């Protein structure tokens, strides 16, 4: 946070009431002075995860281990609605 001033929380959990909400709250509470923009989250859509891989791909977020697979990370952080 101190280095980038930005926070993007990515988890496989559902977005609504997912644990990213708690992390976002903690960041806002404790690291507010370092924040250079809104904390953003990416999570699974608020639906069950389908068996069909074509659907699973759109339900689950991309692999968080590889930031290069987040082509829209910067745009998401800028608050743009349509990343990429």
Partner 1 sequence: MVLKPGHDWFYAYYRDMALMLRLGMTPKEIQMEALGCADGPSSGGRQMPSHWGHARLNVVSRSSVTGTQYLQAVGCSHAGRYISIVEECRKRGLRHQTDEITYVSGGEGSTSEGEFWEALNTACNLKLPILFLNEDNKYAISVPVEAQTAGGTIGALVKDWPGLRYEELDGCDPLECYRVLSDVVAGMRRRREGHALVQAHVVRPYSHSLSDDERLYKPERERQEEARKDPITRFEKYLLREGLADADLLARMKESIDQEVSAATQEAAAAARPAPDTIYSHVCSPDVDPASGAFSTMPDLQGDPKTMVDLLNACLRDEMERDPRIVIFGEDVADATREEALAEVKGKGGVFKVTHNLQRRFGRERVFNSPLAEANIVGRAIGMATRGLKPVVEIQFLDYIWPAFMQIRDELAVQQRILLPRRDPGRFRRLPGRRRPLPQPVRRGPLHAHAGASRGDAGNGAGRQRAAPHRHPLRRSGDLPGAQAPLPPDLQQVPLPRPRLPHSFREGPDGPGGQRHHSRHLRRHGGAIDPGRPPGPGGERDPCRGDRSPEPLPPSTGAPSRPP
Of the candidates 69, 68, 5, 17, the residue with the CA atom closest to the CA atom of residue 41:
17
How many Cβ atoms from other residues are within 10 Å of residue 14's Cβ? 17
Binds partner 1 (CB under 8 A): choice among 25, 28, 30, 46: 46
Closest CB 49 distance from partner 1, rounded Å: 9
- Under rule CB under 8 A, which residues in 12-31 are in contact with partner 1? 13-18
Chain residues that interact with partner 1, rule: CB under 8 A: 10, 13-18, 38, 40-48, 50-55, 57-62, 71-72, 76, 79, 81-84
């Amino acid at each position: 946070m101190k280095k980038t001033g930005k926070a993007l929380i990515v988890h496989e959990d559902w977005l609504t009431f997912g644990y990213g909400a708690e992390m976002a709250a903690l960041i806002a509470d404790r690291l507010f002075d370092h924040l250079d923009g809104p904390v953003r989250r990416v999570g699974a859509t608020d639906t069950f995860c389908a068996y069909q891989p074509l659907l699973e791909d759109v339900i689950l977020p991309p692999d968080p281990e590889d930031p290069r697979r987040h082509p829209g990370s910067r745009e998401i952080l800028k608050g743009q609605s349509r990343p990429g």
